[in-house]
Structure 1
Amino acid sequence: MKQLLLLLTLIGSLFASAQNTGKIEGKITLGDGMPLSGATVYIEALDKGAVTDFDGNFTINDVAEGTHSVSISYVGFETVTQDISVTAGQTTMLNTILKESDSLLNEVIITSSKQPQKITDVPASVSVIRAQDIQQFPSFNIGELAARQKGVDFVRTGVLGTGINIRGFNSAFNSKNLQVTDDRVSMLIATGLPFGTFSTVTKDDIKRVEILLGPNGTLYGPNAHNGLVSTITKNPRTSEGTTLVFGGGNQNVITGRLRHAQVINDRLSYKVHFERTAGREFQYVDSVYVGNTAYTEERLDRDFDILRYGGAVHYKTGKQSELIGYYGHSNNTNLGVTNAGRNQIKDWTIDLAQLKFVSKNFFANAYYTWSRTDETYAINQRTQNYVSFIENGFSEEEAWDRALFEQWVPAFGIAIPRGALFRDASERFNAEAQYNNNWGNFHLTVGAQYQLDMADSKGTYLLDQDGPIEIGQTGVYGQFEYKLDSGWNFLAGIRADNHDLYGTNILPKAAITKAIDAGTFRLTYGRGMAVPSILNLSGNLFGGLVLGNGEGFTRSDGSVIDPLEVETINTFELGFKGQLADKLFIDTSVYYNMSENFISPLRNIADAENGIFVTEIGGQPIDDVVPGASASPFLLTYSNFGQVDTYGFDIGLNYYFSDAVRATLNYSYFGSAIDTDDLNNDGNLDGVVLESELPINTPANKVNLGLHYTKNKFYGAVFGRWIEDYDFFSGINVAAKTQDLDGDGVNEIVENAQVGRTWNYGPLGGFVIDANVGYTLNDNVSFGLNVTNLFDTEMREFVASPAIGRLISFELKYNLNFTKNKKNQ
């Protein structure tokens, strides 16, 4: 009887509850009527919500009677908040149109925590290149847009070459900020360098780029050392249509692109993309030195050609789950800058295949990367080899062919190995699984990742004569956030990575944010690390002139160069993002970094002038590993510096004069302090540590100022960028003012003169103005023009690179939106 009474009581309470609740239903669309799948509809006070299905529909059941504040958000769009009155036993309709964010404070991003967050709530310093920025930038190279972001060190090496670094220690071979595209690592396998022009995605398929400043790799990987760059492409279901682009410009540039996306039915959609871009690099021939005699790069080919294509199939497996298959390909022929001169990259291909599953609480991802080249070569080394044969009576044809592999030594009448050819047949496998969920104000994310690098240079630029070098890494991570109604938010995360060579490393992360009416304050701590790349550990370039340092070296004077260790960084940051006045928005942060075991650029560890040569590598005679290396007057390798502290602050201001006009001001300061008592910081190995021995390679001050205009069918922007002059050292490359590096009264560095094996043009930096304009002729056709370095200012941005002159590009775009056409029929 008691059980029956309990059952009747339970039924009664459930019935009473049902009588006091209602539900909310509706549809979320874009401005053109396209359903928005995956938008979040949330009632914070009740901790209830839903995610829209294929058709943009959603339902929230058991909503208490009364008036509730409902927020609707989607990545890259403005968050909309509406008050909804719910009547018991009835359905309340809520249909909303979302538009792309115009206000920087209403924007939603996803990269920081792998979940949609309003940008002011993100516990990190973030710069965003938005869809509108990309759409209104009439150039095939969206890398230029990174120059307009705060806290980003942007460099340009030519028509194609653009690169970014974050908060110091740049290099021609910089791999210290992790770059990902749609949850795929976008870094070359053996070198660890960002893909850059090797990317398989095209500009028209990129939805947005989110740049996180500082160590933020808890959810992404161990090598997000000083930053993370995440490129997110478009979902075909929310970007259905066809885009055709024809473009061109000076430097003989011509480009053609195609993107097509289509929804087949409620479950199936797909997209394909294609690009072919060709042109000619700026006129610039670098010096190549044999002793103190200067030659020029031999048979330099300035023509470049980029081919890329790919496609994805999206299949909805449920209302809130999706299976995605992707394949992409790129083929590159161009000039690449390295810290040992320039490379002639010829038909270097990258292929990617990915399968990814995404649902409300679970994420799984697996992909494979292939890298192939057979004809790429180092111009500097091949020129040196070629000269050695020509000057000793060999024919032009024989000299050029043999220059790929060897150098003639007239004193002995023999040829020695000095390979200039790069072959690559490297592969990489990645897999990841992740779970996330909410319980009230508590959000949890846990996951695991695996990466297996299989580097194979066919014995040309790695110590891999015995076969591919295989290195595996496994990482597990957890991150939780707790948000209080008072505006306080707490985050804690930890990552453990096990590396085949370096064992387990722990990366903690913590943040506190406090929301106020004007914005959000944040205090964060993060630990990051940079694991030496396979090239750092096992490089073997130019017959042993450049060797990796995976096992350490011994010199003839008995001194020892220790093998490379993992570089670590601990960062503390205080920031604020918010609204200072009615139309003035600010995003600012101040940070302090403590680095240990900083991995140096290439540096010479032989000292032929004082009779000091390298005798052993890893405890065995170096000649047994690389014949003849013990007699080399140069041996370039990598090593760890000791304790180095860096600090700085970034500030970004945006002022809206009107809905059509916005002004942007970004300023960054960077400083450093080297521990002069730590002999690991002795860059030239003379027993004395000087401030000048650490290659910071970052300007102390940089400013950019922009003015944006968008109204009706016209858009445009003008951007000025000033970089204070700064010294840059990377391998044999020097761009620096005249100075005495070791304090002996003699200037080792002289501006506009030969320094070692290269020519020093002086410090990098300067001031340039860029501008772009565009006009939308109708719903389908638009035209745009971009000018980089509008006034053709003489400015050199990178070592072993030309001064960047005026670069003009234009685009004629035809865009067919299927959804609009369907509505008009």
Structure 2
Amino acid sequence: MFKKQLLVIVFTLSAIANFAQVKINGVVYNEYLEPFYGAKIVSGSETTASNDNGEFTITVKGSFPQTITVSAFGHQTEIVEITRANQKVNVILKENLLLDQVVISASRVPERIIESPVTIERFGLTDIRKTSSNSFYDGLTNLKGVQSRELGYGFKSINTRGFSDFSNSRFVQMVDGMDTAAPALNFSAGNLSGVSELDINNVEILPGASSALYGANAYNGVLLMNTKNPFDFTGISTMFKSGFTNQELAGTNKFYDFAARMAYRFSDAFAAKVNFSYFQAHEWLANDTRNKLIDTGEIAEGSINNPLNYNGINLYGDEFNNSISVQNIGINFFNVLLPQDARVYRTGYAERDILVDEKANNLRFSASFHYRPFEDNRLELIFSTRMARGNGLLQGNDSRYSQREYSIGQSKFEVKGENFYVRAYHTRNDAGNSYSLDATGAVLTARSQANNLVGSWGVDYLLGLSNNGVDWNNLTADISILEAAREYADSFGLQPGTPEFKQAFDDVRSTLITEGGSRIFDRSSYVHADGNYNFKSLLNDWADVQVGGSFRQYNPDSRGTIFNDADQTIRVEEYGFYSQIQKKFFDERLKLTASVRYDKSQNFDGNYSPRFAVNYALGEDKNHIVRASYQTGFRNPTIQEQYLFNQPGRKINLGTSWANLNTLDVQGITGDDIINNSLLTRTVFPDDTNYQGPLYQKSTYTAIVPEEVKTIELGYRSMFPITDTNNISIDVNGFYSIHNDFVFFQDILTPTAGKVLPFGNTPVTATQLQDPNVANGFIDPATNVLVLDAEALNSNLQEFNIVTNSKSVVNSYGASIAVNTKVFNRFDLGLSYDYINFSFDDKDLGLFEPNFNTPKHTFKAQLGNENLFKNFGFNVSGRWLDEYRWVSTFVKGNVDARTVIDAQLNYRIPSIKSRFKIGGTNLFGDEYFVAPGTGQIGQTYYISWTIND
């Protein structure tokens, strides 16, 4: 009897166990009823993926009915009810419309793009997979309203709504909540220290002022890159990419790009991942022959052999420490008075002459460890670290730089739950053996020796003129004499390719700038902490009410090569707090969003950044939404703009925070003298810039303060059905912004002794030279008379290039439209058009010009199909950019209009989980400048093999 009872018990328990754990089989298809590879299927804590035939098997636990969730990024999630043990499941996944995709960055809460209170762009996994660009980061330039500055194969700078050069400190870029700005630069170096191609999950971009939620420097916008969580994306993935770049100057050169990702979910509580990537490529070499002194897009007349008033953009060391010294040399050595405008520049060195290597490379490593104590996403603890190291080129405010053995790293600890997060991270960088090309050329040229004089190129040049019988009254009468004189002066210099040149070059680039060389020292860092809490669950979902705050401490360390920290330690702290409320009314048709933030930096007054937005949904399905918003932004001056102190030539570059000015002492000149006792350089030497205004004007520029912007924006988003299986998405927006206190560089002259008289608008006449009460000019302490002679002024004054704020108010405005749909129900089509422009009321005597650096008109288009036929897809993208003007302290000039076509073909082999792609960028196009002085961008052709993406 007992045996029978035991048998019944065992049979019953087995039946219960089998009933509690049932394996469900199914197939996932795409919209074209083709097998869907890689779809994610979830049942409780069980997770699996569909194979190359779209098939899957998953265990369902518990009593029926049960549900399983089938999803894939870029597609609509399907929930399937399981009612019996032998149920066969067939699922069709439809692509998500762009406006249906969910974003977080606009309000710090999940919401569909169509419901976002402000303009937002998203680049998801589907977009990343089908992009025709060489990388996902390159592909961002195809988004509406996004501009890319391509400096090299690895260095790109993303921006929105203008007003940036390569020093893009008005735009914030983040990876998993960490600001990727380099500590000394205060802006992100593109994706050089960012995310691997295999680890990127999605990218969200907020164009325009975003300080209300993201604080200081979210002035032009915010880019947020989110990586794959190892709980959701497991396995080993690899990518092999190779090809070649083609440029007229550099020729055809191979490049290599490799990435690997390893992620493992050890349990429902612990997961980890590791990423590794490396690339090596030839740089886009620069040989811009335009003349810095001619502010135009035209190629300068003449050549280096006829260089009166010729300062080549990509020639380094051609400037004299004082560009008018040839006049002094003429008087002192030859007893001739040369014309004031006969400014002769030295030959200098081409960029290729002073590069250690023309190749760029970049090594990136990252790792993260994730712990979920409750075995779900209610609470997650994350420790992550990432580092990058490499070589490349960078174009800065005053020069181009060769980055050698640079490195940057970040480490983060974060605790996040369903309604909050708290994180802290540390960022550090090391410039390695990086050096300035301008400083290198200047020092090498100065080492030319002749007639027992060091740095006597000017003497030798005039000797060459004299020996060849020049007509001093008509220097350009015989060009061959100028050529012969230059050849004579150059013959005493260091010649590229010789052992003497190499020895001097190695010595100069390995010696710090402060010690007479060109090497940059930078081991700066910062620590950052921030957090956010959403009270929605505590308020019974009445509204999203959030509070948050942040703290940052900068620790610059340049040993005096960049900052004024040779004899002092610099520390800068800033903090901020914000709050936001978002609530829906009228059957969730009306959504109101209001937020405000307060930020304080130790060197400046605090800033309030309010934002208010209203959305209203029209139509029965609520898929037609109009919106309006008022947004504000501000930018604290960068650490360089506050504490800059270096002297690449005759000028001293100087940051003008009072914290820096109060420590200044240059030949007896104090910070108070800089602000209150200086002349505007270009009103003393107007020939440098064709300045036509009043002469000898006193500077009234003040110590630097933060920039501010106020923006009004209107928008409309809608999804219209075309057929039962196809919709069209439309996204339209327009904005108007007012900018105050724009930061720029201003040249001033400060006397080592004596007094600059008050500013006046009436030019001084010759009869007023001895009048001590005249309204303009400089009183010479030795003679107690007004000095208006440029040569006399130059011998008594020190020139500074100060960072200050413009007095002009700048207005910017623009509109854009994007349309996305399918044509013939098979081909993805995307079109966008952007218009953006600016104006300003000049209050700076014509000496200020905003660095807008953005084309007025931009048109972009994309066409593709991931499943043109079985396992085969393609994508083509094109963009046309109108001509625009480039303004920076390094150089000003015009950039021609350009058309860029990129294309790719891809083929998938599901049996080996592989995707092969072949493509090219700038196909059929001419080489183009992104900015004067950069290398011309040629063509890139590539083939890649990605496994398990």
TM-score by length of 2: 0.69
| Structure 1 position 541, deviation (Å) | 3.1
Within 1, Cα distance between the matches of 2:427 and 2:779? 37
Pick one of 339, 343, 346 that aligns with 1:293: 346
More deviation in 175-184 or 633-642? 633-642
CA 1:148/1:421 → structure 2, altered by over 3 Å: closer, same or farther? same
Please report the RMSD computed on the Cα atoms of aligned residues, expressed in angstroms. Answer: 3.7
2:937 is equivalent to residue 804 of structure 1: yes
Residues 401, 436 of structure 2: 8 Å contact kept: yes
- 2:826 maps to 660
Amino acid at match of 2:942: S
| Structure 1 position 283, deviation (Å) | 3.6
| Structure 1 position 56, deviation (Å) | 12
2:572 is equivalent to residue 471 of structure 1: yes
2:525 is equivalent to residue 427 of structure 1: yes
- 1:16 maps to none
| Structure 1 position 631, deviation (Å) | 5.2
| Structure 1 position 462, deviation (Å) | 0.9
Within 2, Cα distance between the matches of 1:253 and 1:629? 52
CA 1:104/1:227 → structure 2, altered by over 3 Å: closer, same or farther? same
Pick one of 463, 468, 483 that aligns with 2:584: 483
How far does the alpha carbon of each residue in 1:166-193 deviate from its partner, in whole angstroms, 9 at most, with x for none?
Answer: 1121213121111111010111112211
- 2:359 maps to 303
Amino acid at match of 1:734: K
Amino acid at match of 2:837: G
Residues 328, 351 of structure 1: 8 Å contact kept: yes
How far does the alpha carbon of each residue in 1:288-333 deviate from its partner, in whole angstroms, 9 at most, with x for none?
Answer: 3324234313322311110001111111122311111101110021
Find the residue that maps to 1:203 and give its secondary structure: coil
Residues 699, 748 of structure 2: 8 Å contact kept: no
Residues 390, 399 of structure 1: 8 Å contact kept: no
- 1:782 maps to 915
CA 1:435/1:516 → structure 2, altered by over 3 Å: closer, same or farther? same
Residues 137, 191 of structure 2: 8 Å contact kept: no
- 1:116 maps to 110
Find the residue that maps to 1:284 and give its secondary structure: coil
Larger radius of gyration: 2
Residues 74, 126 of structure 2: 8 Å contact kept: no
Within 2, Cα distance between the matches of 1:632 and 1:767? 46
| Structure 1 position 635, deviation (Å) | 3.0
Within 2, Cα distance between the matches of 1:357 and 1:36? 26
Within 2, Cα distance between the matches of 1:434 and 1:311? 24
- 2:224 maps to 230
- 2:652 maps to 545
How high is the sequence identity, in percent, across the aligned residues?
A: 23
Pick one of 587, 591, 612 that aligns with 2:735: 591
Within 2, Cα distance between the matches of 1:561 and 1:660? 60
Residues 140, 255 of structure 1: 8 Å contact kept: no
Within 2, Cα distance between the matches of 1:648 and 1:36? 48
Residues 74, 116 of structure 1: 8 Å contact kept: no
How far does the alpha carbon of each residue in 1:448-480 deviate from its partner, in whole angstroms, 9 at most, with x for none?
Answer: 111111111122111111344211111111111
Residues 603, 638 of structure 1: 8 Å contact kept: yes
Within 2, Cα distance between the matches of 1:31 and 1:405? 52
2:601 is equivalent to residue 499 of structure 1: yes
| Structure 1 position 416, deviation (Å) | 9.3
Residues 857, 882 of structure 2: 8 Å contact kept: yes
Pick one of 282, 295, 301 that aligns with 1:280: 282
Amino acid at match of 1:726: Y
CA 1:32/1:699 → structure 2, altered by over 3 Å: closer, same or farther? closer
1:624-773 pair list within 5 angstroms: 635=801, 637-676=803-842, 679=843, 681-684=844-847, 693-711=849-867, 712-736=870-894, 763-773=895-905
- 1:64 maps to none
Within 1, Cα distance between the matches of 2:926 and 2:38? 42
Find the residue that maps to 2:99 and give its secondary structure: coil
Residues 158, 190 of structure 2: 8 Å contact kept: no
- 2:632 maps to 527
- 2:124 maps to 130
Pick one of 309, 312, 316 that aligns with 2:368: 312
Aligned residues: 704
Within 1, Cα distance between the matches of 2:136 and 2:841? 39
Pick one of 330, 339, 342 that aligns with 2:397: 339
Residues 35, 238 of structure 1: 8 Å contact kept: no
Within 2, Cα distance between the matches of 1:241 and 1:210? 25
| Structure 1 position 246, deviation (Å) | 1.1
CA 1:665/1:631 → structure 2, altered by over 3 Å: closer, same or farther? same
- 1:571 maps to 711
Residues 120, 520 of structure 1: 8 Å contact kept: yes
Within 1, Cα distance between the matches of 2:803 and 2:263? 48
CA 1:96/1:167 → structure 2, altered by over 3 Å: closer, same or farther? farther
| Structure 1 position 99, deviation (Å) | 6.0
2:405 is equivalent to residue 403 of structure 1: no
- 2:34 maps to none
Pick one of 215, 230, 240 that aligns with 2:209: 215
Point out the structure with the larger strand share.
1
Residues 830, 861 of structure 2: 8 Å contact kept: yes
Pick one of 409, 425, 438 that aligns with 1:351: 409
Find the residue that maps to 1:811 and give its secondary structure: strand
Residues 154, 191 of structure 2: 8 Å contact kept: yes
Amino acid at match of 1:423: F
Within 1, Cα distance between the matches of 2:42 and 2:605? 48
Residues 655, 663 of structure 1: 8 Å contact kept: yes
Residues 461, 540 of structure 1: 8 Å contact kept: yes
How far does the alpha carbon of each residue in 1:713-749 deviate from its partner, in whole angstroms, 9 at most, with x for none?
Answer: 122211121111111111121222xxxxxxxxxxxxx
| Structure 1 position 588, deviation (Å) | 1.0
- 2:754 maps to none
CA 1:99/1:542 → structure 2, altered by over 3 Å: closer, same or farther? farther
- 1:49 maps to none
CA 1:523/1:419 → structure 2, altered by over 3 Å: closer, same or farther? farther
| Structure 1 position 135, deviation (Å) | 2.3
Residues 498, 505 of structure 1: 8 Å contact kept: yes
Residues 79, 108 of structure 1: 8 Å contact kept: no
5+ unaligned residues in a row in structure 1: which ranges? 1-26, 40-54, 60-69, 86-92, 408-414, 616-627, 686-692, 737-762, 817-825
CA 1:268/1:84 → structure 2, altered by over 3 Å: closer, same or farther? closer
Residues 132, 875 of structure 2: 8 Å contact kept: no
Amino acid at match of 2:235: G
1:13-162 pair list within 5 angstroms: 32-35=39-42, 78=75, 80=77, 101-137=95-131, 141-162=135-156
Within 2, Cα distance between the matches of 1:567 and 1:338? 20
Within 2, Cα distance between the matches of 1:613 and 1:719? 59
Residues 864, 876 of structure 2: 8 Å contact kept: yes
Find the residue that maps to 2:642 and give its secondary structure: helix
| Structure 1 position 777, deviation (Å) | 1.9
| Structure 1 position 698, deviation (Å) | 1.6
Find the residue that maps to 1:465 and give its secondary structure: coil
Within 1, Cα distance between the matches of 2:532 and 2:811? 34
Residues 75, 108 of structure 1: 8 Å contact kept: no
Find the residue that maps to 2:141 and give its secondary structure: helix
CA 1:261/1:732 → structure 2, altered by over 3 Å: closer, same or farther? same
| Structure 1 position 809, deviation (Å) | 2.0
Amino acid at match of 1:455: P
Within 1, Cα distance between the matches of 2:112 and 2:265? 29
Amino acid at match of 1:386: L
